[in-house]
Structure 1
Amino acid sequence: MTVESDEQDGATLLRPLAGGHPHGRSTVDIARAIADGDRHHRRVRLVGSAGAGATVVLVVVAGWTVAANSPQKPAPAATKGSTSPSTGPTVAAVGCTVQQLATPEGEGVRAVIGGGDPTGKYLVGRTYPGGRPSTVVWENLRPRKVPMQGEDPSLTGATSTGVFIGSSYTGADTLTAWVYKDGRFLKLAGSGAIASAINEREVIVGSVQGRPAMWASPTAQPTMLPMPAGKGWTGGASGVDDDGTIVGTLENSEVKGGQAYVWRPDGTVTKLAQPMVRGKPAMDYRARTVRGGWAVGWASYDEPDRGPRWLAAPRWNLRTGAVDSTDGVFTTINAQGRIAGQLAVIAPDRTTVALPLPSGFDAKSAMVMTEAISDDGTVVAGYLNDRNGSLDAQPIAVVWKCGS
Structure 2
Amino acid sequence: MGLRAGAHLLPDDAAHWVVLDHLASMVAIVEADGRCLFANTAFEEVLGLSRRAVVGEAIFDWFTDPALLREVFTAVARNEYATSRLQAELKRHPHVYADGLHVQVIVTRYGRGDLVLVELVEVEQQTRQDREERALDQVQANKELIRNLAHEIKNPLGGIRGAAQLLEMELDDKSMTEYTQVIIHEADRLQSLVDRLLAPHRRPHLVGDVNIHEVCERVRSLILAEFPKGLKLWRDYDTSIPEFRGDREQLIQALLNIAHNAAQALAERIAQGDAVITFKTRVARRVTINRQLHRLALVLHIEDNGPGIPESIRDRIFYPLVSGRDGGSGLGLTLAQTFVQQHQGTIECESEPGRTVFKITIPLP
| TM-score, normalised relative to structure 1 | 0.21
Greater share of helix: 2
Greater share of strand: 1
Between the two structures, name the one with larger relative contact order (CA 8 Å, sep ≥ 6): 1
Tell which structure's C-alpha radius of gyration is larger: 2
| TM-score, normalised relative to structure 2 | 0.22
